[in-house]
Amino acid sequence: QVQLVESGGGLVQAGGSLRLSCAASIRTFSSYDMGWFRQAPGKEREFGAGIRWFGGYTDYTDSVKGRFTISRDNAKKEVYLLMNSLKPEDTAVYYCAAAISAGNLHVGASYDYWGQGTQVTVSS
């Protein structure tokens, strides 16, 4: 059974940094595209960052470009999201997602498995 477990969330002041991790129990993890989505209170879930299985291609939503960095370690079966220069509007539950083959990294329906989420709160 596939499991994705996020960690690293918490409370941080604006301008600070956090590093989220997602541990995947996927036998063929290196073949999966991975993504980070987020959902703020009262809002729909939105794409944050994605990385292709081969690691050489990454994509970000415009609001996090230049501040967030997604990366992966296939040997450890983990994906990370380094978040710098955090803003109050980054406050959300952050979800890790895995796709056997994500046609569009930005689209939630492209992903096959989801984690339970980790809360990130940025205070002003």
pLDDT 10s digits, 55-77:
789 999 999 999 999 999 999 99
Q: What pLDDT does residue 56 have?
A: 80
78 CA to centre of own chain: 11
pLDDT 10s digits, 3-59:
999 999 999 999 999 999 999 999 999 999 999 999 999 999 999 999 999 878 999
